[in-house]
Amino acid sequence: MTIHPLKFKRIEFVGGGLRVSEEKTQKLLETFEISLPFFGIPARGCANEGLIAAVSESGALGVLDVGLKSPEEIKVSVDKIRRLTKKPFALLLYPPQDTTLDAKKLELLNTAIAAVREELGLPLNPTVTGLDFEAQFQTVCDLEIPVLGLRLGGLREPYMEKLEERNIKTFGMASNLRDAKVLQSSGVNAVVLNGFGEPGLLSCKEEQNEKAKVDSLCLMVEAARAISVPVLAASSVLVKEQVSAIKTLGLNGLVLSDALLLSKESEVPEAWKNQIPYLSDSSSELVSYLMGRNCRHLANGLSEAIRENDLPVLEFPYQFLALKDIFEAAKVRGKIGLSLLEIGQLAYLAKKMPANEIIEQFRLWWQDE
């Protein structure tokens, strides 16, 4: 695919207001060694190594969420991506979370959903072990990946220094201005604004979950004013009008998430892809029942059962780890009502196209004056 050079136009607003900064957008491109100001961060249930490589091959930055993977799984994923592309890509990790596994709650949860496990042929009491961030981080450093993304908080200085020594660039995701400012202070090279309508985890560390439910437009306006590093918008971006608004508000790039949901390379089962265009803006829900903290995903039977029966919800990441085998088995068997498919509020507008064609459409929208 031919990558066309972008043309930038500086726009100044009288009275010291917002401005579209050619320099900051150019800095974004140069820092992450990409030709388009887009990050492709496909959501859980959609992402795979082939899709990440396709995004990077198209001139954007492909980002694979490995925050819930073991070091061995991370190595396998990186090897697959590197066999498919020589272009820069990124991994996404979750900094250490101050949470613990409640064994009693886990026992009660497993007892309550025993029938579901039995139906799927799964063990009734699976072993649940936590994440080893130190091992994950060391693996990322050893593999010398080009870019590391951070969700659910930033890293302390020793970690950032280690990444800088290896010339690993960084970005952080924030769902409120306070988190964005803390990420900037930590030394990240860019900030992604994780909007209210975006699929996946609401990214907040400095604010409580409920307080972090900030409207995307408010967050964009605030961050464009207050954040000096390049800023990208992630808010279930699917249409040209959104792209135009993002540029007008002074942001330097955008995130493709739901836009990649129905792509040729997406791992969403074909039968599910055929159903998604018939959804609505209320088909997703932002709840903690499947992940242990606020996450936007397709409303499903398992989430409803946990809510209606007031079943225990473990702290993140243990709720997800306790249900992970159910999600995986449900996907294999085509049971969408028991799976975890992260989608945003405009997911139903996604198009069934190859990833490179989707990105080309966004390039035309971004460049259109």
Examine residue 325 and state whether it is found in any structural domain, yes or no. Answer: no
Which residues form the domain of 251? 11-94+131-269+351-367
Examine residue 65 and state whether it is found in any structural domain, yes or no. Answer: yes
DSSP structural state of residue 2: P
Examine residue 332 and state whether it is found in any structural domain, yes or no. Answer: no
Per-residue pLDDT of the chain (369 residues; tens, 9 = 90+): 555 555 544 444 433 334 447 889 999 999 999 999 999 999 999 999 999 999 999 999 999 999 999 999 999 999 999 999 999 999 999 999 989 999 999 999 999 999 999 999 999 999 999 999 999 999 999 999 999 999 999 999 999 999 999 999 999 999 999 999 999 999 999 999 999 899 999 998 887 777 778 888 899 999 999 999 999 999 999 999 999 999 999 999 999 999 999 999 999 999 999 999 999 999 999 999 999 999 999 999 999 999 999 999 999 999 999 999 999 999 999 999 999 999 999 999 999 999 999 999 999 999 985
Total domains present in the chain: 1
User: What is the rounded distance in angstroms from the CA atom of residue 106 to the CA atom of residue 67?
Assistant: 21
Examine residue 183 and state whether it is found in any structural domain, yes or no. Answer: yes
- Looking up residue 178, the CATH number of its domain turns out to be 3.20.20.70
Predicted TM-score (pTM) of the model is 0.92
Examine residue 335 and state whether it is found in any structural domain, yes or no. Answer: no
List all residues 6 or more positions away from 85 whose beta carbon is below 8 Å from its beta carbon.
53, 54, 56, 57, 62
Tokens of 171: 């970005």
Tokens of 127: 């072993």
Helix H or strand E encompassing 363: helix 355-367
User: What is the rounded distance in angstroms from the CA atom of residue 325 to the CA atom of residue 116?
Assistant: 11
Q: Which of 65, 57, 63, 58 is nearest to 85 (CA)?
A: 57
Examine residue 107 and state whether it is found in any structural domain, yes or no. Answer: no
Examine residue 168 and state whether it is found in any structural domain, yes or no. Answer: yes
Examine residue 309 and state whether it is found in any structural domain, yes or no. Answer: no
